[in-house]
Structure 1
């Protein structure tokens, strides 16, 4: 069984909207009370309270606060788990030597939503291809909310649901969404693959994708296009008194603009990765650790960094391109079409420095955008050469990233037979490493 996320837009009436807002307020109140309890216990007694300690007090809390009963025990427990995960992430970053922010209190306006972690307490009833009804709770207090959404799975089992309260970035109006996790059979997840190409891809910033045949996919640069409008809004907000009505209005507009950029990026990457896996039998690219690639060059007081502003601009472009999101989408989409995804070990193979013609290392700086090999005389765009190198590496006999092909004196010929691939091929652990 595979797990897939689908999102439904909810259309609650006035009474249901009021009830959802009240439930959201109660979940935020429980979250804040549990956070305060942990802080007080450690300050006064030096004691750390676990999730299970707080979960065991829920029955007594519901006796004193009967308005929490309609929310459901499992939904209340999931809110406490959310706080526990926040603390786990905080201590994990502290242990790693970072300086994370301490878990903070959240108002109902900033509380993202609440979840039902299992099929208990809710039910999805589908009507046709797009219409649906979401039932929350049971008995007289149950909410039957109209929903609208679409997915391509005929056979599925609902697993959990998260109710999300947000503002539409285009209209600015408040709306509710239901993000539902479905357990789907492998056969129901399958996509039809229309081609059998083998493609090497070099993801980048100048162009979003460069292919081994020289073709390219342009980088839409959503952040750069929205930067003038974003800067104007931020300047205008800086002139307002913090916490005032106008300050909050401008903050909302800035938040909506950022959300619109994220939606455009996600839509673009979904379309590009889907088209790629449907036409390809083999996709070869290199591992990208965008967290390290976009690390700040600021340095420290003792050892200040160099070209900090230039590196900040490059980091912004790397993150705007959504390269990590593209890799994440490719990882699960290739299992649906039977495509093989090969991720080359970048440090071992050095695709940007290696010549695809003679396999020698040709040192280049970031400013060198054309690959010129003094040994074999090969000349081509740098990114196209990198895409060819990772594609040749994917044709190694053992299919392990960067181990077989990099050890050869010369690469395999471009006419080498493609790797055998069968329908519904699942990538190996080495391929997804």
Structure 2
């Protein structure tokens, strides 16, 4: 039994939206009260309060505050688990020597929503096509909210839990489904493909086929800049300032939805056609670092690097790899992630396996050792495919550098090397 998540958009009427807002405020109040209790207990008595201590007080809270009864015991417990998870993450970061980030109080406007951790207190009814109804609560206080959305797993998928979120004045519900193995995606072909992700073309395959980069953000930049200029001329905090802020947020949401939809569709096609899919492990966080530098050592071409960083992040490489990972497992596809630092796909020749240094401006691979000429991204895709197919050259089987890498010629590439990766 697999677990998959699907998100549906809710269409509450005015009364239902007001009820959802009121319930969200109560969950926010419980979250902040539980956080204050933990802080006061530690300051006054040096005592740590656990999730179970706070969960056991919920019956008394509902007796003193009847409005909490309508929210449901399991939803209230999930809000306390949310706080407990925040503390667990805080202590984990402290032990790791990272920036701790102590849990903070939340305002009602910034509290994203609430969740039901099991199939109690709600019911999702699908009406065929993309129509659905979400029923929350029971009795006279129950809400029946229209929803829009559809999943691909058929009628055998059973809802397990839901999370209601509010974003830019709109409501969404994320449903976790328990899906049988046979209802998951199946592979339709047994190809062996290498793919190189890039900015000029979103993906380039080893046979030369490409997937164009839609450049969602670049297409909307003029409109986004116009809205931001309009807001800059308004008084901060005024009604028009807030109204333009909501329009900007909706535009960012639209860009994100287009990007997510595109990546979902393309990654599904890839794993559905391939028995082996090879690519290199990318680290978008390292690739999109600022070139600003420091006061003592200022960087060069900062604005050009900022534009490149924006395009790298807009291409959503960090979103594509996790999608490929779980979809490949679902379809029975072997996903091979080459170690970029060790293999150097963009610098290595697919014909003779020697290093041919090049800069980002060099879009054609010309090997000085064997004279092999190929489009740069296609050559990289072929290199990772050879790395996946050749016994003994995979990342898991090769903890040391490749034996052919004898002449360590100095690379002049400006690409940032990524961290080590493991094959999936």
**Alignment TM-score > 0.5, same fold:** yes
Q: Note the 1:241-320 alignment, pairs <5 A.
A: 241-320=235-314
The match for 1:51 is: 51
Q: For 1:164 and 1:31, locate their aligned partners in 2 and report how far apart those are by CA, in whole Å.
A: 16
What stretches of structure 2 of length at least 5 have no aligned partner? 406-420
Q: For 2:299 and 2:397, locate their aligned partners in 1 and report how far apart those are by CA, in whole Å.
A: 35
Q: Deviations over 1:251-298 (max 9, x none)?
A: 111111111110010011111111212222221100011122222333
Determine if contact 2:396/2:423 at 8 Å carries over to the other structure. no
Q: Note the 1:210-221 alignment, pairs <5 A.
A: 210-221=204-215
Task: Assess, with a 3 A threshold, how the Cα gap between structure 1 residues 262 and 344 changes in structure 2: closer, same or farther.
Answer: same
SS, match of residue 251 in structure 1 = helix
The match for 1:161 is: 162
Q: Deviations over 1:40-99 (max 9, x none)?
A: 455555655443343333222222111001101111121222233334445555665655
Q: Note the 1:110-125 alignment, pairs <5 A.
A: 110-125=110-125
Shift in Å, 1:209: 0.8
Shift in Å, 1:143: 2.4
Which of 360, 376, 380 is 1:382 aligned to? 376
Task: Assess, with a 3 A threshold, how the Cα gap between structure 1 residues 238 and 97 changes in structure 2: closer, same or farther.
Answer: farther
Q: Note the 1:344-359 alignment, pairs <5 A.
A: 344-359=338-353
Task: Assess, with a 3 A threshold, how the Cα gap between structure 1 residues 231 and 130 changes in structure 2: closer, same or farther.
Answer: closer
SS, match of residue 123 in structure 1 = strand
SS, match of residue 70 in structure 2 = helix
TM-score normalised by the chain length of structure 1: 0.85
Task: Assess, with a 3 A threshold, how the Cα gap between structure 1 residues 121 and 267 changes in structure 2: closer, same or farther.
Answer: same
Q: For 2:240 and 2:98, locate their aligned partners in 1 and report how far apart those are by CA, in whole Å.
A: 35
Stretch deviating more after TM superposition (336-345 or 229-238): 229-238
Which of 171, 180, 184 is 1:176 aligned to? 171
Determine if contact 1:298/1:306 at 8 Å carries over to the other structure. yes
Q: Number of paired residues? A: 407
Shift in Å, 1:206: 1.7
Q: For 1:222 and 1:102, locate their aligned partners in 2 and report how far apart those are by CA, in whole Å.
A: 35
SS, match of residue 345 in structure 2 = coil
Q: Is structure 2 residue 193 aligned with structure 1 residue 202? A: no
The match for 1:419 is: none
Q: For 1:358 and 1:346, locate their aligned partners in 2 and report how far apart those are by CA, in whole Å.
A: 18
What stretches of structure 1 of length at least 5 have no aligned partner? 168-173, 411-428
Q: For 1:298 and 1:93, locate their aligned partners in 2 and report how far apart those are by CA, in whole Å.
A: 27
TM-score normalised by the chain length of structure 2: 0.87
SS, match of residue 342 in structure 1 = strand
Q: For 1:100 and 1:239, locate their aligned partners in 2 and report how far apart those are by CA, in whole Å.
A: 38
Question: Which runs of structure 1 show a deviation greater than 6 angstroms over 4 or more consecutive aligned residues?
Answer: none
Which of 184, 199, 208 is 1:189 aligned to? 184
Q: Is structure 2 residue 18 aligned with structure 1 residue 18? A: yes
Q: Is structure 2 residue 136 aligned with structure 1 residue 136? A: yes
Q: For 2:81 and 2:296, locate their aligned partners in 1 and report how far apart those are by CA, in whole Å.
A: 41
Task: Assess, with a 3 A threshold, how the Cα gap between structure 1 residues 249 and 262 changes in structure 2: closer, same or farther.
Answer: same
The match for 2:417 is: none
Stretch deviating more after TM superposition (69-78 or 401-410): 401-410
Stretch deviating more after TM superposition (109-118 or 297-306): 297-306
SS, match of residue 407 in structure 1 = coil
Shift in Å, 1:342: 0.9
Q: For 2:163 and 2:347, locate their aligned partners in 1 and report how far apart those are by CA, in whole Å.
A: 46
Q: Note the 1:319-334 alignment, pairs <5 A.
A: 319-334=313-328
CA root-mean-square deviation? 2.7
Determine if contact 1:287/1:346 at 8 Å carries over to the other structure. yes
Determine if contact 1:400/1:430 at 8 Å carries over to the other structure. no
Q: Note the 1:93-104 alignment, pairs <5 A.
A: 93=93, 99=99, 103-104=103-104
Determine if contact 2:185/2:327 at 8 Å carries over to the other structure. no
Stretch deviating more after TM superposition (394-403 or 18-27): 394-403
Q: For 1:79 and 1:45, locate their aligned partners in 2 and report how far apart those are by CA, in whole Å.
A: 25
Task: Assess, with a 3 A threshold, how the Cα gap between structure 1 residues 80 and 300 changes in structure 2: closer, same or farther.
Answer: farther
Q: For 1:233 and 1:206, locate their aligned partners in 2 and report how far apart those are by CA, in whole Å.
A: 28
